[in-house]
Amino acid sequence: MTASVPRQLVHRASIAETFPTGWSRTGADRFSVSAQWPRVHCLHVSPDRSVYDPLLVVETVRQAGTLLNHTEYKVPLDHRFVLQEFRITTFPEHLGVGPTPAEPTVDITFSDIRHRGRRLVSARYEADVRLGGELLAHADVAFTCTSGAVFSRLRGGRTAATVSALPVPPGLPAADVGRGSAADVVLALNQQAEGYWQLRVDTGHAVFFDHPLDHIPGMLLLESAQQAAWARTGTGRGLMPVSFDTTFHQFAELDLPTWIESTDEGDGTLKVVGTQEGRTVFECVVGTAERSAILYGE
């Protein structure tokens, strides 16, 4: 519990981007994963270093599930996981950055486990993320699992070496999407239509593209949903994205333009849809809540 788990077990290349520190079995298909979060992060800590970003919780839950699939369900390291659904509600009043790195615990229960022979092919899991006894988030995740060879056939020969991303267009002002750096803006400037942007895919971004990929990662799509919510609600209105109800329909290709559209659903929720060539890649209902005056110093 004093060091990160091997980064290969959570599909990361960087030790600094590996958050789980250990795990244990607590029951039949039930587990507890320990983690540590840095107090400073270019993407997952607010620009004023006062609060953890909700998508840090998402990434931690994703890594925890991947870790358990490899260690407890014996999925080979060359297998690939494909997200189908990722639903999470966070409680920002408990996401403040403290005087030491936060050490949350992720309690996970697997269900709907399907095998083909001895090989895991799909499952879902629920996760409760806690810190100091407080519930930080609840998540519900569904995924499929495939071998590297089958994944290559599904991708039709598309690899990180054979597919190149489109040129990156100019982005929105960082402050308009809750970011402190222009390098972290994922929505392109668009003066033609409100709530409609092209996704900026920078394969040199050290967090979204921790290692070469043949497609746009799900975390980048979720970040686009979060930034679309910021852009629609306005960073000065006291609202922040806190929940994400996401369905991934197909791979988002690097060499096709991805369009992000946001519509206000009322009751503090927005629907964000990503499309490529008219086909829906993902859709996400983003819930917002009032920002805490204590966390943000307002």
pLDDT bin (cut points 50, 70, 90) of residue 191 is low
Domains of the chain (ranges; CATH) run 1-148 (3.10.129.10), 159-298 (3.10.129.10)
Specify the higher pLDDT residue, 160 or 192: 160
Mean pLDDT across the stretch 50-74?
96
In 3D, which of 255, 21, 292, 290 has the Cα closest to residue 156? Answer: 255
Cα separation, 199 vs 202, in Å, equals 10
pLDDT > 50? residue 144: yes
Query: Can you tell me the distance from the alpha carbon of 129 to that of 83, in angstroms, rounded to the nearest whole number?
Result: 19
The per-residue pLDDT for 237 is 59
What is the C-alpha separation between 67 and 13, in angstroms, rounded?
A: 14
**Residue 272 CA to chain centroid, in angstroms?**
15
DSSP 3-state of 270:
strand
Higher-confidence residue: 249 or 190?
249
Dist CA 50 CA 39 (whole Å): 9
pLDDT > 80? residue 29 = yes
Residue 288 contacts residue 241 (beta carbons within 8 Å)? yes
Taking the whole predicted model, whether its pTM rises above 0.85 is answered as yes
pLDDT at 129: 98
Characterize the bridge pairing of strands 105-116 and 30-35. Answer: antiparallel
Residues 54 and 95: beta-carbon distance below 8 Å: yes
Mean pLDDT lowest for which of 132-136, 233-237, 282-286? 233-237
**What pLDDT is recorded for position 24?**
97
Whether 147 shows a pLDDT value over 70: the answer reads yes
Question: Rounded to whole angstroms, how far apart are CA atoms 31 and 82?
Answer: 21
Q: Encoding tokens for residue 195?
A: 């709530």
Q: Provide the mean pLDDT of the chain.
A: 92
